[in-house]
Chain A
Amino acid sequence: MNTRFTWFNVTAIVLGFAFLYIPILILVIYSFNESKLVTVWGGFSTKWYAGLLENEQLMDAAWITLQVAFISATIATVLGTMAALVLVRMGRFPGRTLFSGMIFAPLVMPEVITGLSLLLLFVAINFDRGFWTIVLAHATFTMCFAAVVVQARLTDFDSRVEEAAMDLGASPVGTFFQVTLPIIAPSVISAWLLAFTLSLDDLVIASFTTGPSATTLPMKIYSQVRLGVTPEINAISTIMIAFVTVGVLIASYMTKLQSSRMERDRRAADAAAN
């Protein structure tokens, strides 16, 4: 496609991004508002941030949320990478259609259904609800996102490299860890980051599957949001946005670095071959 900026393209992009970013920008700006009222600007202040640190319940919830996200993202990445390998490399096997169905359905499944069904499972098997039930629930729905991310990378990767390793006597497991994994590593990292942030954000599934012992940050924010807009929620939201933005920027920088290094290696290999 002939690519250049025309007035139409620029307008479309500017308007689209304005729609996406202005609400977030307003939220961030008003977290620094001295006044408690949303529409009145009372001067610059960081007092709402200071107040957050003293709110022990909120800090506890944040700590639980981070732990849940870390453990569930790790499980989801391992299982999701295996699932991606199954989808791309294993060819046909009995039950493959069901398998790919179970990978893609959770991507669009309404959260209320996933949450309710997992809760009823945990009740049926008498599993004590709390921290670990949220971890299991999050690992399940985020592994499907992880599988899709890794699968995209595996599909456009030259499988002859793997065949070469195996011809040279590497075992399938050795090939995976020494050849495949280093090549797909950026996608595995982004799969982990995606699973981590999805878990961090989730309100509905966590509300269904938790017990009285574990309250996550989104649950805490939700119960406060229902009472109205306060600068304190703006402040905690701003921290979460900053956290995610920095993570995404680092991840995309790393991917860029990796792909330019791969490009350089490929050129060197081409030059050597000629």
Chain B
Amino acid sequence: MRKWMVIAAPYVWLLLFFLIPFFIVFKISLSESEISIPPYTPVFSLSEGWESISTKLGQLDFEKYAFIFSDELYTSSYWSSLKIAAVATFLTLLIAYPLAYGMARAPKEWQPTLMMFVILPFWTSFLIRVYAWIGILKNEGLLNAFLLHIGAISEPLQIMNTTTAVYIGIVYSYLPFMVLPLYASLEKIDGRLLEAAEDLGSPPWKAFWQVTFPLSIPGIVAGCFLVFIPATGEFVIPDLLGGSETLMIGKTLWSEFFNNRDWPVASAVAVLLLLVLIVPIVAFQWAQQRAREAGR
């Protein structure tokens, strides 16, 4: 009996505040935009009885979706979000791998401290960490001041408000999410495997590609999901660092909602974003599940 109560409390909470809201988003994406509060016409309400619901079900239309597909702003937002997230995930992996590798190879007594220093920035505010880059990257910022000072450039580089700034922001903000799973899988590798490879005459780089790298693939997969999925829907980074030049779907959804106050279109944008991300999300869960079962 008590067992069911322990299950029910978090279960009901998540159903109510996580799952059901998605259905409401879907419902509102099918309703009409209107200038009122809240700014949409309800598609149906239970107070009108079942008869009216069934007549209205017949009238449901996917007009907002047709609108999104016909407008280039939205389709190119989806594409450029996916592209930016994919490139940024790859760059994060390139920077995180040597760091995680170095940590896993550091003396054992150092490792908890190194771990803590990777996690610490993750605990400090996301917004503040993105803000920190504005002062560095802008035209009269520190990076340009430094490069001008040493004479590497004669004109300030335009980095702020470009896609490059968004890449830097994503790599910087999501680096801990990539380092931690990589470190976890690298740290578990049995050193005797590498010794065996060495004894059998394998040069270190070959041992790395044939032993270490394949064994770290679960960490790479988990890290890439943890970066790619949230980065696709990222709002703060493209908004603050990307300027008007960078299109990303999270930003489009935000302005649809807060500036245009078009809730049905914002909902339809969210539904489509979720559909785009459902494959990586399910794959991520499947990988997590497998890792958990393998850990037993």
By a beta-carbon cutoff of 8 Å, the part of chain A in contact with chain B is: 1-6, 8-13, 15-17, 19-21, 23-24, 26-27, 30, 38-39, 79-80, 82-83, 85-86, 90, 93, 95, 99-113, 116-118, 120-121, 123-124, 136-137, 140, 143, 147, 155, 172-173, 194, 197, 200-201, 203-204, 207-208, 218, 221-222, 225-226, 229, 233, 237, 240-241, 244-245, 247-248, 252, 256
Residues of A within 8 A of B129 (CB): 23-24
Residues of A within 8 A of B170 (CB): none
**Residue contact A16 to B105, C-beta cutoff 8 Å:** no
Distance between Cα atoms of A240 and B189 in the complex (Å): 38
B contact patch SS? helix
Residues of B within 8 A of A121 (CB): 17, 20-21, 24
By a beta-carbon cutoff of 8 Å, the part of chain B in contact with chain A is: 2-3, 6-7, 9-11, 13-15, 17-22, 24-25, 28, 38, 95-96, 98-99, 101-108, 111-112, 114, 116-121, 123-129, 131-136, 138, 140-142, 145, 172, 175, 179, 186-187, 189-191, 194-195, 225-226, 229-230, 232-236, 240, 250, 253-254, 257-258, 263, 266-267, 270, 273-274, 277, 281, 284-285, 288-289, 292, 295-296
Query: Beyond A13-B103, A241-B124, is A3–B9 a contact (Cβ under 8 Å)?
Result: no
> Which single member of B105, B123, B232, B295 contacts A244 (CB below 8 Å)?
B123
Distance between Cα atoms of A243 and B106 in the complex (Å): 29
Query: Beyond A2-B194, A4-B107, A155-B292, is A16–B232 a contact (Cβ under 8 Å)?
Result: no
30 contacts between A and B (CB under 8 A): A1-B104, A1-B189, A3-B106, A3-B107, A12-B101, A20-B117, A23-B133, A26-B136, A39-B141, A86-B6, A95-B11, A99-B7, A99-B11, A102-B19, A105-B18, A108-B225, A108-B230, A110-B230, A112-B233, A112-B250, A120-B25, A140-B17, A155-B296, A173-B2, A201-B126, A221-B131, A225-B131, A248-B116, A248-B120, A248-B123
Q: Which residue of B lies closest to A256 (CB)?
A: B112
Smallest CB separation, A21 vs chain B (Å): 7
**Residue contact A225 to B134, C-beta cutoff 8 Å:** yes
Distance between Cα atoms of A123 and B164 in the complex (Å): 38
Q: Which residue of A lies closest to B107 (CB)?
A: A3
Distance between Cα atoms of A132 and B132 in the complex (Å): 31
Residues of B within 8 A of A123 (CB): 38
Residues of A within 8 A of B235 (CB): 110-112, 204
9 additional A-B pairs beyond A4-B105, A24-B121, A107-B226, beta carbons within 8 Å, are A9-B101, A12-B98, A16-B96, A23-B133, A90-B7, A116-B266, A143-B14, A204-B236, A204-B254
Query: Beyond A1-B189, A12-B101, is A252–B116 a contact (Cβ under 8 Å)?
Result: yes
Residues of B within 8 A of A38 (CB): 135, 140-142
Smallest CB separation, B11 vs chain A (Å): 6
Distance between Cα atoms of A203 and B142 in the complex (Å): 26
Residues of A within 8 A of B257 (CB): 116, 208
> Which single member of B119, B258, B285 contacts A248 (CB below 8 Å)?
B119
Residues of A within 8 A of B13 (CB): 79, 140, 143
Smallest CB separation, A190 vs chain B (Å): 10
Interface centre among B101, B124, B230, B254 (most CB of A within 10 A): B124
**Residue contact A5 to B106, C-beta cutoff 8 Å:** yes
Q: Which residue of B lies closest to A229 (CB)?
A: B135
**Residue contact B121 to A83, C-beta cutoff 8 Å:** no
**Residue contact A229 to B131, C-beta cutoff 8 Å:** yes
Residues of B within 8 A of A6 (CB): 105
Smallest CB separation, B161 vs chain A (Å): 13
Distance between Cα atoms of A37 and B79 in the complex (Å): 38
Residues of A within 8 A of B190 (CB): 1
Distance between Cα atoms of A12 and B106 in the complex (Å): 11
Distance between Cα atoms of A82 and B203 in the complex (Å): 50
Query: Beyond A104-B284, A113-B274, A203-B236, is A118–B17 a contact (Cβ under 8 Å)?
Result: yes
**Residue contact A26 to B175, C-beta cutoff 8 Å:** no
Smallest CB separation, A247 vs chain B (Å): 8
